[in-house]
Structure 1
């Protein structure tokens, strides 16, 4: 009977590691801020820490915050994130809560449609991405304009194309913060975690055309 409590201490296992002192404080902050971690760039040591202690860390977040630490795979790449979508996030301090604006979600879904559903994986130029959204998706422009106007301070008297370009810039900045993609200069690169947008909004993708058109 005296050992009955041992399984409950699983959530403390990761704290026994010296690496916890180095990585966990920053890692915890960023995970709660919605950042996704993968085996890439300066995230590599954090990813390896998550990989090694994922069971213990998951037990910790479930016990104290009522949320799960998830690992998802895209082909040979995996990534970690806190799954707020299966929780009320009620135990996460308000300072850490930041939901994607509707305009970012729609831009992200259009990007997914262009890059993956339509097979334009060679598209790596931000400027070319903007031109593609503006020129090849004319039917979306009225809906995008209205959506952007609802989501930003740019309410009236702005050029449609400039507003869409600015919205793409804002969306890319937010996606980089979440570690869904990276960019430098004009070149962007989606990370494996960009596919997370589909697991969140998988019911939306088949209806994206009608959803955007509904804003007109």
Structure 2
């Protein structure tokens, strides 16, 4: 049997594969957590076969990140073209959401605010606790959205943060229980892709601020 199709003889393939396929092609990161535990286990058992399947039949890369309890699976659309995935299924993170991801990573993992667990607290911190970086944050968000700098204010930034966090929920980077969120292992994809930006985020934002003042 073709190695790329071996996963189809798994006892749970008929019941689970359509769920797995839909989630992966829609940009969702799958990890061993609550409602994803079963489909995570299916991918984990059949990873090599499924990896070949997506490569051979769609020209896309099924990849994994993390280890042991922090392992997660995803389609790495950035590795190459999106192959045969229909336009309606293509998932892009807008640039302004990526920037919000940088800020969330900085606040929690660089600055150590591990107690950050609500969107309203995150919004408040950006507004009040990062005065030195705030002009640069607002300027770079305006650039990302192709807005005028004068159009970017606290209310608009709050809205961008809320929308970005909802998008992170959809792709499995964070999970909510009521108003409280937890950051998932798959969020670590962000520094793997954009490590240079995140590691130098303060310098980058200060440069944006100085550019405005010059």
Q: Does 1:141 align with 2:134?
A: yes
Unmatched tracts of structure 2, length 5 or more: none
Q: Does 1:37 align with 2:37?
A: no
CA contact (8 A) 2:63 2:73 kept: yes
In 2, the alpha carbon distance for the partners of 1:211 and 1:13 equals 48
Name the CA shift for 1:142/1:169 in 2 (closer, same or farther; >3 Å).
same
CA contact (8 A) 1:10 1:59 kept: yes
Q: Give the equivalent residue in structure 1 for 2:123.
A: 130
Runs of 4+ in 1 over 3 A off after TM superposition: 146-159, 210-216
After superposition, the C-alpha distances for 1:58-100 in whole angstroms (9 at most, x for unaligned) are: 0101111222211211573111111112112233222221211
Q: Give the equivalent residue in structure 2 for 1:11.
A: 4
Q: Give the equivalent residue in structure 2 for 1:114.
A: 107
Indicate the SS of the match to 1:189.
strand
In 2, the alpha carbon distance for the partners of 1:90 and 1:62 equals 9
Unmatched tracts of structure 1, length 5 or more: 1-5
Q: Give the equivalent residue in structure 2 for 1:160.
A: 153
Indicate the SS of the match to 1:176.
helix
In 1, the alpha carbon distance for the partners of 2:190 and 2:68 equals 16
What's the TM-score once normalised by structure 2's chain length? 0.87
CA contact (8 A) 1:125 1:188 kept: yes
What is the aligned length? 209
Matches within 5 A, 1:47-66: 47-66=40-59
Q: Give the equivalent residue in structure 2 for 1:187.
A: 180
CA RMSD of aligned residues (A): 2.2
From 92, 95, 99, the equivalent of 1:102 is 95
Name the CA shift for 1:74/1:138 in 2 (closer, same or farther; >3 Å).
farther
What's the TM-score once normalised by structure 1's chain length? 0.86
